[in-house]
Amino acid sequence: MNDPTRTNIENWLTYAEELGLAPFYRDRAIQEQSNPPAAIAIEAAAEIPGPMPKPKQSSALIAAAPIKPAVTFFPTAAGPTLFEAADRIQGDTLEIIRTDLGECTRCKLHKTRNKIVFGDGSEKADLVFVGEGPGHDEDIQGLPFVGRAGKLLTQMIEAMGLQRKDVYICNVVKCRPPENRMPERDEIAACSPFLIRQIDAIHPKVIVCLGATAAQMLLNTNRSISAFRGEWLEYRGTRLLATYHPAYLLRNPAAKSEVWKDLQKVMSVLGLKPKSAGAAASQR
């Protein structure tokens, strides 16, 4: 192996180590000896050595939307070269991922956070909701979606005939961005590998992205959410649907009916019936 290649691989391994992904590499080495990695939904960028992760367009989006391809894409650290060339980490659990995350200082959000908001709900959930990032109440309590937008999300979940404990709720970033600003690229890049592992560990039947940030990150696109909201897409072999963020619904209650239609699609896939006519009506 020549020196530049060796250095490149060493850099990648150090990078993975810093992200808490060392088990990924060990696991993949074992898997690849006996069993080539399974094909996965989003295209693989083949080789590990390379100057930077190469952002690629999601095949899910290409397949699902006959719209012109987006021009640029989020260069997430969770990017294709690290994750998409391999299958899930065997035996990964939420507990292991939480331990790997530790008292995270990987991005600047740690300086202003109060509590890390890792995620909440069932590890066996069929349905995972992914939001953007913790707000004030979440930062205080260390739990996702517990403020005003969270109360609306809870109502939506209950209208679907579920309880919060039946689903899993998490965010693209685990620490509150100051003043509730949008998470920045470097913050998403540092945090998203943990979200990807969480989703892999849960292996839900359906992922619902709440708002553009989650959808754009998981689908690796910068397309406006309005281009694909309410459509079935695919993320690493799992059905994914993006809908409006509950905070948006607080500002635009008229959009609730659209979201309810989206959630009814999810219910149909999961075989769920609305809890009560009243609960469902409150979403319309």
Q: Which residues bind ligand URA (CB under 6 A)?
A: 131-135, 138, 144-145, 147, 149-150, 171, 247
Nearer to ligand URA, 87 or 120 (CB): 120
Rounded Cα gap, residues 170 and 173, in angstroms: 9
Residue number of the CB closest to ligand URA reads: 131
Which 3 state secondary structure label does DSSP give 210?
strand
Closest distance of CB 272 from ligand URA, Å: 23
Asked if 139 contacts 117 with a C-beta cutoff of 8 angstroms, the reply is: yes
Q: Do 263 and 159 touch, CB atoms closer than 8 A?
A: yes
Q: In the complex, what is the shortest distance from the CB of residue 62 to ligand URA, in angstroms, rounded to a whole number?
A: 27
CB 199 within 8 A of CB 234: no
User: Rg for the chain (alpha carbons), in Å?
Assistant: 19
CB nearer to ligand URA: pick between 84 and 132: 132
- Of 134 and 193, nearer to ligand URA (C-beta) is 134
**How far apart are CB 137 and ligand URA at their closest, in Å?**
8
Query: Which residues fall within 8 angstroms of residue 131, CB to CB, at 6 or more apart?
Result: 144, 145, 153, 169, 170, 171, 172, 210, 211, 214, 245
We find the least distance from the C-beta atom of residue 229 to ligand URA, in angstroms, to be 16
Kindly state the smallest distance separating residue 23's Cβ from ligand URA, in Å.
Answer: 27
Closer to ligand URA by CB, 16 or 172: give it: 172
Nearer to ligand URA, 135 or 204 (CB): 135
Q: Which long-range contacts (CB under 8 A, 24 or more apart) does 147-152 make?
A: 148/247, 148/250, 149/245, 149/246, 149/247, 149/249, 149/250, 150/246, 152/246, 152/249, 152/250
CB 103, min distance to ligand URA, A = 19
Q: Which is nearer to ligand URA, 79 or 134 (CB)?
A: 134
Under 8 Å between Cβ of 47 and 81: yes
